[in-house]
Structure 1
Amino acid sequence: MMRLIILPLAALALLPACDNHAGQPNAEAELSPVAANDMALTDKRRVLDLEGGVNFRDLGGYRTTDGRITKWETVYRSGSPAGLTDADNAELARRGIRTFCDFRSNEEREEEPNPYVVKNSDVEYWTRDYAMDSGGLGKVLAGPNASADNSRKAMISIYRTIAQDNSESYAQMFRYLAEGRTPLAFNCSAGKDRAGTGAALLLSLLGVPRETVVADYALSDDVVDYRAKIQEAADSNPSYAALAQLPWETVKPLVASDPAYIESALDALENEYGSVDTFIERKLGVTEDMKRAIIKNLTEES
């Protein structure tokens, strides 16, 4: 059985935010939410400069369709926290992260514990008991019909049920956010599939345009050099070693943040529930009062 891999954060050189000259109008404010968010994606605050973080990103700075903006240093998405160093833990503590929602399975957490919550006993650490089965995906990767196209189709299929399969995790995250238990971080292993879907649901609830929701998801491909990390870890990790022996073109769709994947997840919810908001309400139990509280806690006037 082959499960989704854990990929450490690669360095990313981001464009500096544009400064407005005194006395000149704020050009960014004149942009549409989507255009402004395209600029916000490259904000130097987006990706945390951590030594051992995996795809650790701030969800702040995104404009919503009703003229608000998501707060910085309030909600973070991440991959496995196992590699966090003492300096990283100090930085997260400086940011005041007091709630961690870990979407990983029992086995994943046992193999790679979260050192931040170990060192900070006052941090609320939420997990759930479940086993992760990626055997079907392993058969696609190593089977007689293995190909890049079949790997991509398998990932699109997985994403059609990913929100439903992890609904308990997302429901708890939304409860914490409604209660104002921020700053909050949520994570999976690579930080792109379970965490990526959670981020898409949250940004959708906040009113961030669909184009930005998809772009935030796809950003993982720019943050992590997946191929290099697989090769680096192949000597010490059997799962990485198995992947390293397969043709890269077959493996690449597994580790990609293809926009078609998150589109598949969102389309599936719209087809079954009528809208993503209805799924969040009916399946995740987010009431109108909770939604208003989340928006108040996580956004501000732009």
Structure 2
Amino acid sequence: MHMRLPLILIAMLLPLAPVVAKAVAPPQAVAAPHDRLLPLQGGNNFRDLGGYRAADGRSVRWGLLFRSGAMASLTPADFATLAGRGIRTVCDFRDVRERTSAPVNWPAGKAPVVLADDYQNDMSAIVRLFGPTLPSGEQARAAMTSTYPQILKQFNGQYRRMFGELLAGRAPLAFNCSAGKDRTGVAAALLLTALGVGRQDVIGDYLLSNRYFDPGKLTGGNDPQSAMFRRMPPEALQAIMGVDRAYIEAVFAVMDAHKGGVDGYLAGELGLNLTERRELVRLYTER
């Protein structure tokens, strides 16, 4: 209940509070079926974040906020579908190696603005699992849980940039990593929380990756990493390739422990004060 109160007050004050910066017109979503999972031939975990209930009876607008795994297997028909959806900006959280090995060949003249950083993803917690003996499912889950607070820190700059794009109204916007569940899952949790979506709904969205992510698209190749994952016991592989409530709760634990709780974290670590959050609510939710 304590998480909802500030945004309820925000929503009540919406008609009265002036926007400090130049007003941004709400992005317009293309009329399309309200499907959680987009019907893409080469998509993997590509979903719409619309429809979740936010504060004061509002709900997240459909057709503006999308989360996804890597888009390297999208077909020409898929690109046409996304163009029809008006995708304007893509925040690609993959590192240099991931983007080089699985490039996205957007059609000339129809590509969205793609924002990405050149960095090397820290996989040390996972690599350590491949010691003299293969890990158990419990060991793999513990390793995954420990990585999630690190994701918050490592990708703070990229998450800030994503929110900057959204505050500027450069949507419909999609954000992705390779699987669309870890780096992307944290980004979705931050975004939905900033919009006032209740925690259980945020966690529910996060857990949908167990239904919509196809691990075979990442482990079916001939590269050393795919071969490494295929050696793992099924329980350990599921822990790494799936999602678990404990993983995202490790993120919320960091936020809850921050001075001022979740509101303090969003303001202090992501620069989202009440004015910016009120603007996000205006742009991306509706009654």
Is TM (by shorter chain) over 0.5?
yes
Name the aligned partner's letter for residue 90 of structure 1.
Answer: A
The count of aligned residue pairs is 255
Gaps of 5+ in 1: 1-42
Name the aligned partner's letter for residue 265 of structure 1.
Answer: V
**SS of the residue aligned with 1:246?**
coil
TM-score (norm 2): 0.84
1:60 matched to 2:46? The reply is no
- 1:90-129 counterparts in 2 under 5 A? 90-116=80-106, 119-120=108-109, 123-129=112-118
- What is the deviation of 1:142? 4.1
1:247 matched to 2:237? The reply is no
Equivalent-residue separation in structure 2 for 1:134 and 1:141 (angstroms): 12
1:137 matched to 2:126? The reply is yes
1:86 matched to 2:76? The reply is yes
**Alpha carbons of 1:208 and 1:143: their partners in 2 closer, same or farther (altered >3 Å)?**
farther
**Alpha carbons of 1:109 and 1:225: their partners in 2 closer, same or farther (altered >3 Å)?**
closer
**Alpha carbons of 1:91 and 1:163: their partners in 2 closer, same or farther (altered >3 Å)?**
same
Deviates more, 1:84-93 or 1:143-152: 143-152
The question of whether the paired residues in 2 share the 8 Å contact of 1:107 and 1:131 is answered with yes
Equivalent-residue separation in structure 2 for 1:161 and 1:272 (angstroms): 15
**Alpha carbons of 1:143 and 1:263: their partners in 2 closer, same or farther (altered >3 Å)?**
farther
Name the aligned partner's letter for residue 256 of structure 1.
Answer: G
Let me know the Cα RMSD of the aligned residues.
Answer: 1.8
The question of whether the paired residues in 2 share the 8 Å contact of 1:105 and 1:132 is answered with yes
1:193 matched to 2:182? The reply is yes
**Alpha carbons of 1:263 and 1:120: their partners in 2 closer, same or farther (altered >3 Å)?**
farther
**Alpha carbons of 1:230 and 1:78: their partners in 2 closer, same or farther (altered >3 Å)?**
closer
Alignment correspondent of 1:276: 262
Equivalent-residue separation in structure 2 for 1:121 and 1:129 (angstroms): 24
Equivalent-residue separation in structure 2 for 1:272 and 1:150 (angstroms): 28
Alignment correspondent of 1:45: 35
- What is the deviation of 1:94? 0.1
- What is the deviation of 1:189? 0.6
Equivalent-residue separation in structure 2 for 1:65 and 1:292 (angstroms): 11
1:207 matched to 2:196? The reply is yes
- What is the deviation of 1:160? 2.1
- What is the deviation of 1:115? 2.1
**SS of the residue aligned with 2:91?**
strand
- What is the deviation of 1:122? 5.7
1:11-35 C-alpha deviation (Å, 9 max, x unpaired) = xxxxxxxxxxxxxxxxxxxxxxxxx
Equivalent-residue separation in structure 2 for 1:148 and 1:265 (angstroms): 21
